[in-house]
């Protein structure tokens, strides 16, 4: 039975990350609302909401993992179905926002696909979006509730690493603000790499600005895709005198040669969150630790539903955080 306090909330899950949806529902002491999602031979997505949502505060979770286009379409259809079924308010929970890296017009005739996705969600009937660690700060203007994994990562660092002997390192200049924020909160030093790219996902040269000699180097980034940058940065840090190297990334996409790169890079651990399913990746290497962020998302739902401030979560971990 649903908790009486949440009797007007309905939490739905798409097919991208049912494990995270169940963890959130468990923390809220809510059953997942029922919806049938099918893929008929035509290739279209068919959604049936099998319980009433009239006048409910509806939350729908789908994340940018696996078949991203399919999951995005699922989400839009589920939002539309709830909208025309007279839901009071509809919030999309997208821990890893689809197309977040296509956030600016960086060359002639390039689309701003992140904005297109935001428009699609709005037109489908979405009132709010809850997402985590957007790739670029300007995308925050598209959404109502952008969250950060930073407090959970800092808690992990304090629990598992000798923080006083660490240097926080940004793998590129674009991530400097994220890394300096963590360094400031831990009151430790900061360094960064200047990198030159031949093309996307391929770095030609990295130059370290700052010292890591005799220190534990902690790389911090928003996402780990092929891990080429993190792997090269880890090797450079070891050559520069770092005693150990850890890498932290919110979204573990881990495509292509990522697992091979992680195993051969010399880093102690790659620490990521469960915004994307990670059970398959964890079976391939013991160098991955996964931080559970379901408590952050559940608390965001609770605060959003009762009209409380969400900014508290930018600085504090609401519950004791464990490894997923």
Tell me the pLDDT tens digit for each residue of 55-111.
Answer: 999 999 999 999 999 999 999 999 999 999 999 999 999 999 999 888 888 788 889
Per-residue pLDDT of the chain (324 residues; tens, 9 = 90+): 455 667 899 999 999 999 999 999 999 999 999 999 999 999 999 999 999 999 999 999 999 999 999 999 999 999 999 999 999 999 999 999 999 888 888 788 889 898 899 999 999 999 999 988 875 555 555 555 566 788 899 999 999 999 999 999 999 888 898 899 999 999 999 999 987 666 655 556 788 999 999 999 999 999 999 999 899 999 999 999 999 999 999 999 999 999 999 999 999 999 999 999 999 999 999 999 999 999 999 999 999 999 998 877 776 656 444 444
pLDDT for the residue 321:
45
User: What is the Cα gyration radius of the chain?
Assistant: 20
Which uninterrupted H or E stretch holds 57?
A: strand 57-61
238-255 pLDDT tens trace:
999 999 999 999 999 999
Helices (H), the chain: 18-28, 68-84, 113-124, 150-160, 176-186, 228-239, 258-264, 279-284, 294-305
Start-to-end CA distance of the chain, whole Å, equals 25
DSSP string, 192-234: EEEEEEEETTEEEEEEEES--TTSEEEEEEEEESS-HHHHHHH
Q: 5: which residues sit within 8 A by CB, 6+ positions away? A: none
User: At how many degrees (to 10) do helices 294-305 and 18-28 cross?
Assistant: 50
Short-list 292, 298, 255, 300, CA closest to 271: 292
Short-list 305, 321, 313, CA closest to 10: 305
């Amino acid at each position: 039975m649903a908790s009486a306090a949440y009797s007007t909330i309905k939490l739905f899950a798409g097919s991208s990350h049912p494990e995270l949806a169940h963890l959130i529902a468990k923390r809220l002491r809510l059953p997942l609302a029922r919806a049938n999602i099918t893929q008929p031979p035509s290739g279209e997505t068919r959604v049936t909401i099998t319980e009433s949502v009239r006048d409910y505060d509806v939350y729908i979770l789908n994340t940018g993992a696996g078949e991203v286009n399919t999951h995005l379409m699922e989400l839009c259809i589920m939002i539309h179905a709830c909208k025309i079924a007279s839901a009071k308010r509809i919030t999309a929970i997208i821990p890893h926002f689809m197309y977040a890296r296509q956030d600016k017009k960086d060359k002639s005739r390039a689309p701003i696909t992140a904005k297109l996705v935001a428009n699609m969600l709005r037109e489908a009937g979405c009132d709010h979006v809850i997402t985590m660690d957007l790739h670029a700060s300007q995308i925050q203007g598209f959404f109502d509730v952008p969250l950060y994994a930073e407090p959970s990562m800092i808690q992990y660092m304090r629990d598992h690493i000798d923080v006083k002997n660490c240097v926080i390192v940004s793998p590129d200049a674009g991530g400097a603000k994220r890394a300096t924020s963590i360094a400031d909160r831990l009151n430790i030093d900061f360094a960064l790499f200047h990198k030159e790219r031949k093309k996307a996902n391929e770095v030609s040269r990295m130059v370290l600005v700052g010292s890591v000699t005799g220190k534990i180097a902690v790389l911090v980034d928003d996402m780990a895709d092929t891990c080429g940058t993190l792997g090269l940065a880890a090797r450079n840090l070891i050559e520069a005198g770092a005693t150990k190297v850890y890498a932290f990334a919110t979204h573990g996409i881990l495509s292509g040669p990522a697992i091979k790169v992680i195993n051969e890079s010399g880093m102690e651990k790659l620490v990521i969150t469960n915004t994307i399913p990670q059970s398959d990746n964890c079976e391939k290497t013991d160098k991955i630790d996964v931080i559970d962020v379901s408590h952050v998302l559940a608390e965001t739902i609770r605060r959003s539903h009762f009209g409380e401030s969400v900014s508290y979560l930018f600085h504090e971990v609401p519950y004791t955080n464990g490894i997923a």
